[in-house]
Chain A
Amino acid sequence: MNRTAREFQYGLFLIPAFLFYVLFCVYPFATMFYYSLTDYSIVKQTGLHFVGFRNFSEIAHYDLLLAGIKNSLIYAVLMTVFQTALGILLAVALDKKLKTRNVLRSVFFLPAVFSPLVIGFLWNYLLSTSDAGLINRALTSVGLDKINFLGDSDLALYAVVFTQLWQWTGWAMVIFLANLQSISKDYYEAAAIDGATSSQQFWRITLPLLQPSVSVVSVTAMIGGLKVFDIVMSLTGGGPGNATQTIMTAYIKTSFDEGFYSFGAAYGVVFFGAVLVLTMLLMQLLKKWGGSNR
Chain B
Amino acid sequence: MAYWNKETTVQSLLDLIKQKLPNIEIEYQFIENAQYDNIIGTQLAAGSGPDIISVGPPAATQYNKLGYLADLSNLADRFSDAGTSVYSVDGKLVALPGISWFEGIYYNKEIFAKYGLKPPKTFEEELKLHEDLKKNGVKPQAMGAKSFEPMMKSSMGLIMNEFLSQPANKDFDAKYGKGETTLEGNWNAGLEKWSELIKRGYLTNDMLGIDYDQALDEFATGKAAMWESGPWALEAIKQKNPNIQLDMFPFYGSAGGPGWLIGGPGVGFAANAHSKNADAVMQVLDLIATPEGQKAFWENNQGGSSYLKGVSFDMPAEFDGVKETFQAGNVYAPWNNWGGSASSIIEDYGKALQELLGGKSDVSTVLKTTDKTTARLLQLNK
Q: How far is the CA of A16 from the CA of B343 in the complex (A)?
A: 42
A263 & B380 in contact (Cβ 8 Å cutoff): yes
Select the stretch in A92-100, A123-131, A280-288 that faces chain B: A123-131
For window 104-130 of A, CB contacts with B under 8 Å fall at 124, 127-130
Q: Give the contact-size bracket for chain B.
A: 35 or more
B206 & A146 in contact (Cβ 8 Å cutoff): yes
A45-B42, A131-B223, A263-B380 known; A239 and B354 CB under 8 Å? Answer: yes
B355 & A240 in contact (Cβ 8 Å cutoff): yes
Q: Is A31 an interface residue (CB 8 A)?
A: no
Q: How far is the CA of A221 from the CA of B45 in the complex (A)?
A: 42
A259: chain B residues at CB < 8 Å are: 341
Select the stretch in B69-77, B112-120, B283-291, B344-352 that faces chain A: B344-352
Pick the contact of B218 from A63, A131, A241 — CB < 8 Å? Answer: A131
Chain A: CB-nearest residue to B211: A124
A124: chain B residues at CB < 8 Å are: 211
A239 & B351 in contact (Cβ 8 Å cutoff): yes
Minimal beta-carbon separation of B100 from chain A (angstroms)? 24
Interface of B is mostly: helix
A148-B209, A150-B146, A263-B380 known; A242 and B45 CB under 8 Å? Answer: no
B380 & A130 in contact (Cβ 8 Å cutoff): no
Interface of A is mostly: loop
Minimal beta-carbon separation of B336 from chain A (angstroms)? 18
Pick the contact of A129 from B147, B209, B377 — CB < 8 Å? Answer: B209
A152 & B208 in contact (Cβ 8 Å cutoff): yes
Q: Is B254 an interface residue (CB 8 A)?
A: no
B358: chain A residues at CB < 8 Å are: 151-153, 240-241
Pick the contact of A148 from B37, B38, B45, B206 — CB < 8 Å? Answer: B206
B41 & A151 in contact (Cβ 8 Å cutoff): no
Q: Is B340 an interface residue (CB 8 A)?
A: yes
Q: How far is the CA of A129 from the CA of B147 in the complex (A)?
A: 14
Q: How far is the CA of A63 from the CA of B376 in the complex (A)?
A: 11
Q: Is B276 an interface residue (CB 8 A)?
A: no
B341: chain A residues at CB < 8 Å are: 258-259
Pick the contact of A128 from B147, B214, B223 — CB < 8 Å? Answer: B214
Count A-B pairs with CB separation below 8 Å.
Answer: 102
Q: Specify which of B218, B340, B352, B358 lies most central, judged by the most chain A CB atoms within 10 Å of its CB.
A: B358
A129: chain B residues at CB < 8 Å are: 206-207, 209-210
A203: chain B residues at CB < 8 Å are: none
Pick the contact of A41 from B211, B343, B380 — CB < 8 Å? Answer: B380
Q: Is B170 an interface residue (CB 8 A)?
A: no
Q: How far is the CA of A14 from the CA of B211 in the complex (A)?
A: 49
Q: Is B62 an interface residue (CB 8 A)?
A: yes
Minimal beta-carbon separation of A49 from chain B (angstroms)? 12
Q: Give the contact-size bracket for chain A.
A: 35 or more
Pick the contact of B146 from A132, A133, A240, A260 — CB < 8 Å? Answer: A240
Q: Is B317 an interface residue (CB 8 A)?
A: no
A258 & B146 in contact (Cβ 8 Å cutoff): no
Q: Is B205 an interface residue (CB 8 A)?
A: yes
Minimal beta-carbon separation of B285 from chain A (angstroms)? 25
Q: Is B162 an interface residue (CB 8 A)?
A: no
Minimal beta-carbon separation of B158 from chain A (angstroms)? 21
Minimal beta-carbon separation of B188 from chain A (angstroms)? 20
A130-B210, A240-B208, A258-B344 known; A42 and B354 CB under 8 Å? Answer: no
A153 & B355 in contact (Cβ 8 Å cutoff): yes
Q: How far is the CA of A271 from the CA of B354 in the complex (A)?
A: 28
Q: How far is the CA of A41 from the CA of B378 in the complex (A)?
A: 13
Q: How far is the CA of A153 from the CA of B352 in the complex (A)?
A: 12
Pick the contact of B206 from A61, A151, A241, A263 — CB < 8 Å? Answer: A151
Q: How far is the CA of A130 from the CA of B377 in the complex (A)?
A: 36
Q: Is A62 an interface residue (CB 8 A)?
A: yes
Residues of A at the B interface (CB closer than 8 Å) are 41-43, 45-46, 58, 61-63, 124, 127-133, 146, 148-153, 236-242, 253, 257-260, 263
What are 13 pairs between A and B in contact, CB < 8 Å? Answer: A43-B340, A45-B42, A62-B376, A130-B217, A131-B223, A132-B217, A133-B209, A151-B208, A239-B148, A239-B208, A241-B360, A257-B344, A258-B341
8 smallest A-B Cβ distances: which pairs? A151-B208, A151-B209, A129-B209, A129-B206, A241-B355, A130-B214, A240-B354, A150-B209
